[in-house]
Amino acid sequence: MKRGHSLDTVMTLVLFSVFTGAMLLVLMLGVKSYQGISTSVEQSYQERTCLQYIATKVSHYSGTEAVSVTEFGDGSALVLQESFDGDLYNTYLYEYNGMAMELFCASDVDLGPEAGFVIMSVENLQVEAVTQTLVQISCTGSNGGIATQFIQVHGGEGGGL
């Protein structure tokens, strides 16, 4: 009788050990998978955030406000034009020295790209007018990831590219 009882105990311990080992293995694989997903999300954060910021800015410009693409500094810039009390003002969205920048000034003032304020760090930001009402924006993050977004410009008087 003792022999059967000790065999049951040994088998129970072996089964418990196998179950515990399998559970630890699944947990370790889950942690590794989570770290990979977390790293991927962090890497694409810059590009997506930059593009979403610009898309949100453009969405506020419809009707009589103009949206255009122009050369500014060493690259291209998205220009959002609006009128306050009869005076025209431009908002420039562009890349300068590895930073996504925004510059708001009167349209008759000639400022350089260094005058804007920093939105966030990026490697490259390219803006291109695809059609009369479609803009393509490509952002390269500091980790080398590239994200591209097309933005439809809502027309109106003076709207379009």
Range of the domain at 56: 44-152
Q: Identify whether 119 is part of a domain.
A: yes
Mean pLDDT of all residues in the chain? Answer: 86
Q: Identify whether 11 is part of a domain.
A: no
Based on the structure, what is the number of domains in the chain?
1
Give the Cβ contact number of residue 67 at 10 Å: 24
pLDDT number for residue 158: 47
Instruction: Decide if 142 contacts 120 (C-beta within 8 A).
Output: no
In order of 21, 22, 68, 136, the CA distances from 11 in angstroms are 15, 16, 76, 66
Strand partners, 79: 68, 92
Per residue in 39-54, pLDDT (tens digit) is: 777 777 878 889 999 9
Q: Identify whether 81 is part of a domain.
A: yes
pLDDT number for residue 15: 93
Q: Identify whether 104 is part of a domain.
A: yes
Q: Identify whether 56 is part of a domain.
A: yes
Q: Which two tokens stand for residue 76?
A: 């291209």
Task: Say what the pTM is.
Answer: 0.72
Per residue in 78-133, pLDDT (tens digit) is: 999 988 888 999 999 999 998 999 999 999 999 999 999 999 989 899 999 888 88
Task: Return d(Cα 95, Cα 53) in angstroms, integer.
Answer: 14
Task: Return d(Cα 46, Cα 146) in angstroms, integer.
Answer: 10
Q: Identify whether 126 is part of a domain.
A: yes
pLDDT number for residue 119: 93
Q: Identify whether 84 is part of a domain.
A: yes
Q: Identify whether 51 is part of a domain.
A: yes
Instruction: Decide if 139 contacts 47 (C-beta within 8 A).
Output: yes
- Better pLDDT: 44 or 29: 29
pLDDT number for residue 3: 61
